[in-house]
Amino acid sequence: MPESNRPYRVIISGGGTGGHIYPAVAIANQLKEVNPEAEILFVGAKGRMEMTRVPEAGYKIVGLWISGLQRRLTLDNLSFPFKVFSSVRAAHKIIRDFKPDAVVGVGGYASGPLLYAATARRVPALIQEQNSYAGITNKLLAKRVDKVCVAYPNMQQFFPAEKLVLTGNPVRSDIMNSQSKRQEALQHFGLIGEKKTILVIGGSLGARTINHSIAAGLEKIIQAGYQLIWQTGRLYHPEAQALEEKHKAQDVRAFDFIKRMDLAYAAADIVISRAGALSISELCLAGKPSVLVPSPNVAEDHQTKNAMALVQQNAAILVRDAEAAEKLVPAALQLAQDEQEQRRLRTNILKMARPNAAADIVNELIGLIK
């Protein structure tokens, strides 16, 4: 069988949050498109979100016993060296049994041991860094891998320049076509077409500051005549559900997790969001006027850096986490009422979209295999 037609065997590793998992799934889907018989195995961290989300996407996953180092002294930290040793050993066995043509790391706890074991066995390896500030796992792996696919320019401060390829972040392909689904989206969420809709997303795990700010300003949003689709995360969902019940006549739809994000974007006129790398890539592709509230609880404040990349191009509005309680709802309402500002943000954010990211990454991967 010719090299380009034979079924490739690829391991994709990493996870922890949707920001790592969804790019990984997008890469897998794209690989399947160009090489339909490809065998793809995911490797995640036991007990983390990827262990349920990846099988839901139709792929097999195995888990490693691994977690991150906490910033304070905990029992988890004492077991960390044992977890690393156990995970590297398990990763060697996975590679020996699966015999991959190449491996991909997307960041997160599991990608460290897996890519370490793969590169020790001289398996071609690629990492995909989603953020404008590189994660520690990817920085450590960069010396060992063949290619580093990044979403932002000027990443040579973190990675060897000769390995860098600017691809953007791969996102679910259905988000690219969300504009055409508005009627389906309004029906799906039970919303009224004549009213404007605000979509609130705090990342796959939820965002306390955004949730509290929305809860405090909910009366104002409803009085101004707007509908709300609100992804709260699991912990805050009961509280949001109680508010939804209270405002039953008005249009508040609260979810712990939204599976059909393509329809959520299709329904939305404006979006309030954290500034995780995946969220920003999705907003660029969906072309949505957005108010970004960067999480302060991430390494090196990289969400603020992600957000500023848009703000500097007049492509989004920034509200700092510490000021959200006071400023978030007024900023969102002001944007919802200003059609001209919405058009300006929409035009500028669409210029920053990279719709071919998954295809470009898979091309690099196939280049390594060949």
**Residues 106-125 pLDDT 10s:** 988 888 999 999 999 999 99
69-103 burial, b if ≥16 CB within 10 A, otherwise e? eeeeeeeeeeebeebbeebbebbbebbeeeebbbb
What's the confidence (pLDDT) of residue 1? 41
Confirm or deny that 18 is annotated as ligand binding: yes
Confirm or deny that 287 is annotated as ligand binding: no
What's the confidence (pLDDT) of residue 73? 58
- pLDDT value at 129 more than 90: yes
Confirm or deny that 131 is annotated as ligand binding: yes
- pLDDT value at 81 more than 70: no
CA nearest 358: which of 37, 25, 9? 25
Domains of the chain, each with CATH number or no CATH:
9-169+355-369 (3.40.50.2000), 174-351 (3.40.50.2000)
The pTM for the full model equals 0.81
Confirm or deny that 172 is annotated as ligand binding: yes
Confirm or deny that 303 is annotated as ligand binding: yes
Looking at the chain, the whole-number percentage of residues with pLDDT higher than 70 is 92
What's the confidence (pLDDT) of residue 12? 97
Running DSSP on this structure, what letter comes out for residue 163?
G
- pLDDT value at 74 more than 60: no
Confirm or deny that 119 is annotated as ligand binding: no
